[in-house]
Structure 1
C-alpha cells in the first residue's frame, strides 16, 4: 500500500466534508478497495471510513419497500429482510463468505458496480431507488457500465429502497473461488409486469432482459422463456466460461428463477 491519511466521521455531513479534500476516497466495507490498495492500483491521499455512521445502517419496511441503509453489512440485510423480502435476503446471505458478508456493505457494492456483483441485479430487477446525501436515483438511471455509476464525486449512498414484489427469486451460477456471479439472474413480479436483471454476463455490467420481461409479464412460467435466446455479443469471455456459455446461462437461470419464485 501507499501511505494515506484516515478519517472515521460519525455523521453523513462530516463524511461529505472530509470527502471534499483533494484525493479523498470513501471506504465502506473495504472488500474491493482494500485489495486494490494492496495491489497498489489506487493511491488515495485520504481514506474516509463510512463505518462509524449509524444513520446509514439498518433495515426497515416502509411504503411497500424494504429500505436498507447504505452502510448495512450484507449479513445484517440477509437477517433483517428475511421476513419481508426473502429473495433479497437470500441474495445477501450468499455473497462471498462470512467475513465478506459481515464487512461488505450494500452501498459499497452498488457504488462499486462490479460487473459480477449480486446487488446490482437486485436493484435493477426491483426498480429500486438509490438514495444519496443529495438526491434519489432510480436504478434504471444509476448503472452506467462496468465499475461506473451516476454517483458524483463525494456522493454517498445513504439508503436503498427495494419495492417488495409479489414474487421474486435470484439464481446465481457461482465462480467457486470468489462466489461472484459467473452469471446471475434476478426475477421480480409486480402487478404491472415482470422485471428481469442479469449480472455477471455482460462486459457492460448489469442489464435488463427486456424480451424475457415481456414474455413473463404475459405468462409467468419457465416455458415463457424457453423459446427465447440471448445474443452472445458483448458477453464476458474468460477462463471460466465463453460468451456463448454465459448467454445460455442467462436463459437457464431465468427459467429456474421463475420456477422457484412461482
Structure 2
C-alpha cells in the first residue's frame, strides 16, 4: 500500500518546526528517521494531514556534556549514540542497548528521540531511559518543559507529548564507571524484544553493589523499573546466588501481555531469567 495524501514540511530550525507543527493542526505528525513511522503510513494505520520532517534541523543532533549529565539530541541516530565517546564513558547501558536495535541500516537512519517518542512497549530504549533516570526536554508553542522518563511514557504508543510538542533532547545523569548490560530475548535477528532487561550497576572495589538500576522492556504497557530487584541488590556482594535471589523479584509489579509471540506466564519466566543474565554480565561474575 501507499500512504494517504499529506502535506510535507521541512523546517531547518527548531522554531520553524514548532511553528509548522502548530500551524498544521492536531492531525499532523512529526517524522524523525522514519523507520517506525513509514511502515505505519504505508499500511494506513495512521493518516496524518501533514508531516513535519525534522531531518534538516541540525540543532537537534549530537551529544554534549553538561555538568553532571550528558545531553543527547533527539535527532541523533542510533549509530551515533552507540559510538559516541561521551555515551560510552558516562551511559554505557545506552551504548550497549543501542547495539541491539534492529540492524545497521536502521541504526544509521533511525533516531534516538524518534524511537522514544514512538513509545512501542517492545522498543529497546524506553527501559534504558527509565533505568538511567533520564529527563526528556520537549518544546511547543507554550515553551519548553522537562518530563521525567518514568512520566514520559503513558501507554502503548502514547507519551506525555502534546500534539503540538516536539521531543528535542534527552538529559542523562552521568553513570561514570558503572558496569552495564542489555539482555534481549527475541525470536529472530533484528526483531522487536519479546522481553528485555537493562541493567547497570555501581560496584565498589570490594565487590559490593552500591547502586543498581534495572529497566524492563515489554513487561507492562510502558517501560518500568524493577525496583524490587534493585532493592535486593544494593548493599550486597555481587555474587551469582545473591543476583539469582534478587532476579526472582523481576516480575513484581508487572503486567505482561499475552500475544502470539508469548503469553504472560512465559514473559514472567523470561523476566526473571533475563534479569539474572543481565545483572550477572554487568557485574562480571
> What TM-score, normalized to structure 1?
0.92
Aligned to 1:8: 10
Aligned to 2:200: 188
Does the 8 Å contact 1:222/1:256 carry over to 2?
A: no
Distance in 1 between residues matched to 2:254 and 2:223, nearest whole Å? 15
User: How many aligned positions are there?
Assistant: 261
Larger gyration radius, structure 1 or structure 2: 2
Does the 8 Å contact 1:61/1:84 carry over to 2?
A: no
**CA offsets 1:195-227 (integer angstroms, 9 cap, x no match):** 21101233x121111211110123244433423
Aligned to 1:31: 35
| 1:87 positional shift | 2.6
Aligned to 1:198: 216
**CA offsets 1:157-210 (integer angstroms, 9 cap, x no match):** 1111222322322111123154211111112235973221101233x1211112
Distance in 1 between residues matched to 2:109 and 2:57, nearest whole Å? 14
Distance in 2 between residues matched to 1:238 and 1:118, nearest whole Å? 18
Does the 8 Å contact 1:67/1:159 carry over to 2?
A: yes
RMSD across aligned positions (CA): 2.0
Moved more, 22-31 or 184-193: 184-193
List alignment gaps of at least 5 residues for structure 1.
Answer: none
Distance in 1 between residues matched to 2:252 and 2:150, nearest whole Å? 21
Distance in 2 between residues matched to 1:177 and 1:239, nearest whole Å? 18
| 1:155 positional shift | 1.1
Distance in 2 between residues matched to 1:159 and 1:200, nearest whole Å? 23
Distance in 2 between residues matched to 1:73 and 1:51, nearest whole Å? 11
Paired residue secondary structure (2:129): helix
Distance in 2 between residues matched to 1:221 and 1:153, nearest whole Å? 47
Does the 8 Å contact 1:232/1:247 carry over to 2?
A: no
